[in-house]
Amino acid sequence: MARGHVTDERPTDDSVRGLGRSSLINLIGFGVFGLANFLLLAVMTRRLGTSGAGALLEAIAVFSILARTAMLGADIALVRFTSRFIARERRGEMRTLYGVALAPVLAVGTLAGLAMFALAEPLGRALADGVAREHLITHLRVMAPFVPVATVYQVVEGGSRGFGTMLPSVVVERIGRSITLPGLMLAAIAWGAGATGIALAWAGPYAVALIPMGLWVVALVRRAEGAVGRAAPAAIPTRELARRVWRFSLPRAFAGMFAFLISWIDALMLGAMKGASAVGVYSAATRWLIAGNFAGTAVTQAFAPRVSRALAIHGSTAGRRLFQDATALLVLVAWPAYLTAIVFAPLLLSAFGDDFVVGAHVIAIVGAGFLVASSAGPIDMLLLMAGRSSLSLVNAAVALAVNFVANLVLIPPFGIEGAAWAWAASLVVSNALPVFQMWRSHGIQPYGPRTRRALLIVSTGGLALLAARSLLGASVAGLTLGLLLAAGVVAVGIRVTPDRLGVGELLGRSSRW
């Protein structure tokens, strides 16, 4: 097995501490983002009902798939190349890097928006019926002009993380844009703005958020250029830089599209086979798992630029240490959210209305898939930062094929539960493949001592949640008791672990906490 050689691992300590601090900042942002998304979904489900919410969620699915596809993987490319340029003192090439990344993205995003507008009616006929169909068609047409805006915005937002800071993402995206959505949606519904106003309330904030995000990234680029040293290497010709960027990005473009399709294709297939109401229930159920996803994404986004620099400068041994620490941290922050949602699913779904409680089994099935997937850590990001974007593409294609076939087979007889099993299966596949590949190529696997201890500690906390539900039922009192017991179990478990799972190190503090 090919293994990198490391001459000095000490710089990795700073990477570990930076990972912890950035993850913490990102977790705060995702906490606000998650609360805002919950409020948005509550407004949609309470005010629009299962059918109306389903039509809007289907439109959001189409919009999101097109915008994500049009990004062409440029967001991940910017993270990788920006972090490596900084590590290798190529700071003077940032402006060129952003130019070669954004121009194709804007062009493809514009074409995607035009296609969405032109195909709104046939898509509406295929995905919905009755009143929901007319609403869906209107949503699609109104949202279409914002596809290129959202595409550029998300690439710029992703690229900002390559500078080693989470602040633009947290301030503008996680807090700024997200907290405006529930209020705008509620106002549009209350004022009787109809399907047009509702679609504008959801898509419009992308255009507003692009301004501060763009200005922030321009400032980061200028600061990087201002720090160019006299010994900086010769600039890479623009054509050669574009070739390198897009050789990395294009496989990621398809991989990202496939991964995003897995997140949304079940809703579209449910709509086509079972109607908009099924989409509303299914989407509401799976949104309760977003808290765990947000926690995992917070760690993954902080991990990406640091492991890219670690692999570039110090090799596989440094990357292995950072990856296993990130995996332990991801388990600590994501598993409690998944376990809570699984154990108290009926109570959580009742927040959206009695019609949504039937989705409790969906949370249990998909949640189990996320537990398995998150135990592998930010494995796909590690694969990408190691330069293996072609393998990431293959993995995503296999997972999408599993998801599509399983949905096709399982939705007709089992409805929303069939879609849940399809998603869970694809989650397991999409994480098992890169675990095997990174172990074979770099000798890196996620299950180090800290990860194993984290899994044991948080699983014990899950038993405390089950005990509370058995005692008090799926009630507010049961949830409160369960959270208190689980938090105590996890805190004590970390405290008695010999190295405290590196929590003090991750936060840049003494381990005596």
User: pLDDT tens digit string along 322-372?
Assistant: 888 889 989 998 999 999 999 999 999 998 888 889 999 999 999 999 999
Using the predicted structure, report yes or no on whether residue 63 has a pLDDT greater than 90.
yes
* CB within 8 Å of 197: residues ≥ 6 apart: 188, 191
Q: Is residue 393 part of a domain?
A: yes
As to burial, measured by CB atoms within 10 angstroms (0-12 exposed, 13-18 middle, 19+ buried), residue 237 is: exposed
Mean model confidence pLDDT for the chain = 85
* C-alpha to C-alpha distance for 350 and 416, rounded to whole angstroms: 17
Closest CA to 33 of 294, 264, 330: 294
* C-alpha to C-alpha distance for 228 and 220, rounded to whole angstroms: 13
Closest CA to 309 of 99, 19, 506, 503: 19
pLDDT at 20: 55
Mean local confidence (pLDDT), 5-27? 53
The domain total for the chain is 1
Mean local confidence (pLDDT), 467-478? 96
Mean local confidence (pLDDT), 461-473? 96
pLDDT at 91: 64
Q: Is residue 92 part of a domain?
A: yes
Q: Is residue 469 part of a domain?
A: no
Q: Is residue 216 part of a domain?
A: yes
Expressed as residue numbers, the domain containing 181 is: 21-447
Whether pTM > 0.85 for this model: the answer is no
Phi and psi angles of residue 353, each rounded to the nearest 5 degrees, phi first: 125, 155
Q: Is residue 467 part of a domain?
A: no
As to burial, measured by CB atoms within 10 angstroms (0-12 exposed, 13-18 middle, 19+ buried), residue 193 is: middle
Q: Is residue 480 part of a domain?
A: no
Give residue 430's identity as a one-letter amino acid code. Answer: S
pLDDT at 31: 76
Closest CA to 99 of 206, 218, 209: 218
Q: Is residue 491 part of a domain?
A: no
Question: How many other CB atoms are there within 10 angstroms of residue 1's CB atom?
Answer: 9
Q: Is residue 377 part of a domain?
A: yes
